[in-house]
Structure 1
Amino acid sequence: MTFSRMNAAADWTVSGFPARLGINRRTTMSSRQRRGTGMTYMKPVATTPFGRFVGRRDGDLDVFRGVPYAQAPVGPRRFARPEPLPLSDETVDAGADGPIPPQLPSRLEIAMGPSAGTQGEDCLSLTVWAPADLGGEKVPVLVWFHGGAFMSGAGSLPWYAGAALARTGRVVVVSVNSRLGALGYLRLAGVSDGNLGLHDQRASLRWVQRCIAAFGGDPDSVCIAGQSAGAFAVLALVVSEEGRSLFRRAILQSGPYGLEPEPPARAEERGRIFADALGVRPQAEALRAVPVDRLLVSARAVAQHFARGPGDSTPPFVPCLDGDLLKAPLLEATAAGAASWCPMIVGYTREECSVFSAIDPAFKAMTRDQLRAALHAEFGDRAEALMAEYEALRGYRDAGALHADAASDRRFIAPALALARHQARAGRAAFVYQFNWPSPATDFGASHCIELPFLFGAREAWAQAPMFRGATDADYGHISRTMRAYWAGFARTGDPNAGGLLAWPRYEEPARQTMTFDRYIAPMSDPAGSTWRTLLRAS
């Protein structure tokens, strides 16, 4: 990615960017003669305080790729918070993606298939998809934060192409790359306070507030959305002090809210073990000199040190309590009303953890005694009663399946419903969904990530995903169109009910109405059943 920088520095306010001044709407077009035809084709141009970005026309959309939102976190900026871009009037080609964050292959390739992209630490960029025919109109904005256990993924991957959402909802879609792994979440005294990936994501929203009008977006109508680790980030931003000045609405898909931010001391311990694995002093200068590939490989030592047993899917680096972006565990904050200002869509898949159990062969061979020990490690004296309740309510062929369902409920489903309950009790709209479509060609069921091919409508990008095998044209088309319509409607208004769709009721007690997505799409009362309440009592 090439970006010409001038010496003039951006004037940051307390929240990170100066007021929205000096932005030209996307009215200028760059033209070029098509060789051999005599035809002229146009390239869209967006003029911002940080450069004049030349994108590409894709049918009825304008697409801008590799647009930087902060300075490259390289050299002395490795392990530092994101810094603002310098002011610039240079012209930048925004026709190609920038580097994706450095990462090892994802553990979820077994379900999602492989991903590919040029990696580099200069990864703080985003992609914008905007309707091409706005004619000065400002439209709502949907900002996407990808998942990947804070270790893998990128917003610029074809999986997350925002074209279908932009077309369906007549919205501007922004997909964000941010730092991952040790580069994004290392906490170590004198090196980093941690949560740099979250700070990157907040910086991208500050960029949206300052610049998105140049692409046709309305900075006063921003919805943020994310899946898995991206949903965790969304909720962290919702409860942060700056959240309500950056966006108006939020969509949270399969967020691991059962993963509490680590206390500073434990996060520091991870950092020291990481430095030991690298064989360097736990100091900024030494860690900045380590080649990035060694940083990636040495993270495995941290994961192994903290693993609680077979199948532990906790990543080596996770968000920590930092007194800034994360001042308290997320559900503790929402119970106290910190998210009550923000309307939400909150959801999960029916068998979130089936894919994690498929990764580890130990699950298939798990005995009842091993299951009992695993549940006891997490739930203490409640483990035996919990195990009996699961068996009575659901019935299981093997201990590994029970463990996967208990993990799904504990880490994803029960926390999502607790969040929805907090919002309902505060009188704020929460719309809850459960995604039920299972691949007929695998035993993953409705696994973690399965809703993504349907939401983004990028079927070809997901063609190699085992979890998506066997999807018929009829199932895919119906679910995909309906999901995008609901999501786009919510991004526009804070209510998914628009355009003649089946009514999606708000989540309220005691009915707990939940929209279920499968071959048939319909609201149901409390489809998760009673086990999630048992888990809340046990935890």
Structure 2
Amino acid sequence: MLSDSPARSGDPLAAGADVLVTVRGGTLRGRQENGLTVLRGVRYATAPRFGPPAPEQPWPGVRDAVEHGGVSPQPPARPGSAGGAPQIGVQSEDCLNLTIVTPAADGARRPVIVWLHGGSYRSGAGSWDRYRTDRLAREGDVVVISVNSRLGALGYLSAPGVSPGNLGLLDQLEALRWVRDNAADLGGDPGNVTLVGQSSGAHSIACLLGVAQARPLFRRVVLQSPPLGLGLGGAPDTGRLGERFLARLGGDPSEASLEQLLAAQQAAERDVAGRGFTPAYGPVAGADPLPDAEGWLAACRAGAPDLDVVLGTTRREMAYFLGGGPISERVPLVGRAVENGVIGVVTWTAFTRPTLRFARLLSGAGARVFVYGIDGPASASPYRAGHCSDLPWLFGDEAAWAQTPMLAGQSWQDVTEHGRALRSAWLSFAAGGAPALTELGWQPYRGRRAAVHRFGTARSAGLGY
């Protein structure tokens, strides 16, 4: 369903006692749920179509924050996806909102975690049930803030006279400013903010590391499965994509319906297909707030001495996209071996090797860097230790991840237990940074394979580090 109005989800999780929380802009009505204070659909900015975001203005009275806000308009999930088909929610251009979970809005100055979801810059939402952060907030006594921002053409179209590009990145930057200004009112410490992102969310964080105005807004970062093999600064055919989008739309972008914009977005993606798994839409070098490629590298190095970083990948990232595919289906024995070989090579090329290179770059510039690898539990699933396999270890509950193909053969108790060490590490890092991980036995990464911290038990020779 598409709409130009904010979401009204009727989420059963909204049931609970009301709680009033006053932030800089005014008073919000949230819910007390299982010992936590939860605020949903908290608008941090507004933006015209294909225009930059502007900070949300103060409001009179009490504003409801009990139901999820809109999510960026997006296409349906890929059929047969290893991640299953999540409930997208109500789609709206009015999607610049936050989901906030805090033990209490009491001025206690807790660590703050800001979550940036993945989805190839074209899908996803921080407000999805599968990204619920109750467990993290409760286990770590932390404030967790999940961000919704513009995606796809609405967030990353680069077309002269229509859209400058990087609007989704500007949205995220504005969300971080909101966190800085309001964290203390939510029971958090604005001086102790950790960004955590997965896939394109991690790629976004890497982009922000090279944006000088972003660096004062966070202290630490966790990059889960960053697809750094994509490069930073957008695809070389960004201009062609913009041209194809406008041609497919065939009308005024400012007047088109959301359905027409999405149809043109998908058609343009097909027109420029053939770049493997590279997202069609994404950040563009030299468009605000990103400097050009050289400037981005210089800014990353300049900000490194004050930065704590955790980054890593799963052993079989590409199994999420290729596992159980036509190769292994047609020739079960030989085909599976060939499939695993392809998964290993592409995982190394697109994820593992560029992640290690980025780790060395930051470490060499003075950052305190730690690298991890996820082996995953022993499983006959073709998706084992694939992209996104770490997400249910951190977020959501059994109902949110039910019927997800990549979890086939695992009980929810298994998932919860496998994730315990990961959650403990992330929460310790958010609270105490590099020294906290050192106390847990992690070694700083300076280009040594032995320093890579391993999660999980199932290891396959030749796949990963």
Which secondary structure does the structure 2 equivalent of 1:287 belong to? coil
In structure 2, the partner of 1:325 is 289
Task: Say if 1:489 and 1:496, in contact at 8 Å, map to a contact too.
Answer: no
In structure 2, the partner of 1:44 is 19
**Structure 1: distance between partners of 2:247 and 2:158:** 14
Map 1:111-510 onto structure 2 (within 5 A): 111-116=82-87, 117-132=89-104, 135-262=106-233, 266-280=237-251, 286-308=252-274, 312-329=276-293, 333=297, 337-340=301-304, 341-358=306-323, 361=326, 398-438=337-377, 440=379, 442-456=381-395, 458-472=397-411, 475-495=414-434, 497=436, 502-510=440-448
Note the C-alpha offset of 1:443.
Answer: 1.1
**Structure 1: distance between partners of 2:162 and 2:189:** 37
**Structure 2: distance between partners of 1:113 and 1:127:** 23
Note the C-alpha offset of 1:241.
Answer: 0.5
Task: Say if 1:145 and 1:155, in contact at 8 Å, map to a contact too.
Answer: yes
Question: CA 1:406 to 1:339, structure 2 compared with 1: closer, same or farther past 3 Å?
Answer: farther
**Structure 1: distance between partners of 2:24 and 2:246:** 39
User: Does 2:58 correspond to 1:90?
Assistant: no
Note the C-alpha offset of 1:297.
Answer: 2.0
Amino acid at match of 1:56: R
Amino acid at match of 1:252: L
Mark the runs of 5 or more structure 2 residues left unpaired by the alignment.
Answer: 8-14
**Structure 2: distance between partners of 1:339 and 1:528:** 36
User: Does 2:1 correspond to 1:62?
Assistant: no
Task: Say if 2:112 and 2:145, in contact at 8 Å, map to a contact too.
Answer: yes
Note the C-alpha offset of 1:276.
Answer: 0.5
**Structure 2: distance between partners of 1:100 and 1:330:** 34
Amino acid at match of 2:257: P
**Structure 2: distance between partners of 1:336 and 1:135:** 35
Question: CA 1:114 to 1:207, structure 2 compared with 1: closer, same or farther past 3 Å?
Answer: same
Aligned length: 450
Deviations, residues 118-157 of structure 1 (Å, cap 9, x unaligned): 111111101100013x643111100000000001000000
Amino acid at match of 1:510: R
Task: Say if 2:115 and 2:196, in contact at 8 Å, map to a contact too.
Answer: yes
Note the C-alpha offset of 1:223.
Answer: 0.6
Which secondary structure does the structure 2 equivalent of 1:347 belong to? strand
Which secondary structure does the structure 2 equivalent of 1:430 belong to? strand
Amino acid at match of 1:122: D
**Structure 2: distance between partners of 1:464 and 1:234:** 30
Which secondary structure does the structure 1 equivalent of 2:45 belong to? coil
**Structure 2: distance between partners of 1:403 and 1:430:** 29
**Structure 2: distance between partners of 1:49 and 1:510:** 46
Which secondary structure does the structure 2 equivalent of 1:47 belong to? strand
Task: Say if 1:158 and 1:461, in contact at 8 Å, map to a contact too.
Answer: yes
Question: CA 1:334 to 1:357, structure 2 compared with 1: closer, same or farther past 3 Å?
Answer: farther
Deviations, residues 152-184 of structure 1 (Å, cap 9, x unaligned): 000000111111111111110000101111001
Note the C-alpha offset of 1:205.
Answer: 0.2
Which secondary structure does the structure 2 equivalent of 1:111 belong to? coil
Mark the runs of 5 or more structure 1 residues left unpaired by the alignment.
Answer: 4-33, 35-40, 281-285, 367-394, 533-539
Amino acid at match of 1:47: T
Question: CA 1:448 to 1:2, structure 2 compared with 1: closer, same or farther past 3 Å?
Answer: closer
**Structure 2: distance between partners of 1:470 and 1:247:** 38
TM-score (norm. length: structure 2): 0.88
Which secondary structure does the structure 1 equivalent of 2:241 belong to? helix
Deviations, residues 397-428 of structure 1 (Å, cap 9, x unaligned): 55443232221111111111111112222332
Task: Say if 2:183 and 2:190, in contact at 8 Å, map to a contact too.
Answer: yes
Note the C-alpha offset of 1:476.
Answer: 2.4
Which secondary structure does the structure 1 equivalent of 2:345 belong to? helix
**Structure 1: distance between partners of 2:294 and 2:409:** 37
Note the C-alpha offset of 1:529.
Answer: 6.9
Deviations, residues 373-400 of structure 1 (Å, cap 9, x unaligned): xxxxxxxxxxxxxxxxxxxxxx995544
In structure 2, the partner of 1:105 is 76
User: Does 2:48 correspond to 1:53?
Assistant: no
Question: CA 1:411 to 1:334, structure 2 compared with 1: closer, same or farther past 3 Å?
Answer: farther
Note the C-alpha offset of 1:335.
Answer: 9.8
Deviations, residues 273-317 of structure 1 (Å, cap 9, x unaligned): 11101122xxxxx101111112112222222222227xx222221
Question: CA 1:153 to 1:52, structure 2 compared with 1: closer, same or farther past 3 Å?
Answer: same
Amino acid at match of 2:316: E
Amino acid at match of 2:93: E
**Structure 2: distance between partners of 1:66 and 1:187:** 28
**Structure 1: distance between partners of 2:298 and 2:139:** 32
Task: Say if 2:290 and 2:296, in contact at 8 Å, map to a contact too.
Answer: no
Question: CA 1:49 to 1:306, structure 2 compared with 1: closer, same or farther past 3 Å?
Answer: same
Question: CA 1:362 to 1:419, structure 2 compared with 1: closer, same or farther past 3 Å?
Answer: same
**Structure 2: distance between partners of 1:519 and 1:400:** 22
Which secondary structure does the structure 2 equivalent of 1:517 belong to? strand
**Structure 1: distance between partners of 2:463 and 2:374:** 18
**Structure 1: distance between partners of 2:295 and 2:314:** 19
In structure 2, the partner of 1:27 is none
Question: CA 1:335 to 1:239, structure 2 compared with 1: closer, same or farther past 3 Å?
Answer: closer
Which secondary structure does the structure 2 equivalent of 1:288 belong to? coil
Deviations, residues 469-506 of structure 1 (Å, cap 9, x unaligned): 222456323322221111011111213736x9741222
Which secondary structure does the structure 2 equivalent of 1:190 belong to? coil
Q: CA RMSD in A?
A: 3.0
Identity across the alignment (%): 37
Question: CA 1:457 to 1:481, structure 2 compared with 1: closer, same or farther past 3 Å?
Answer: farther
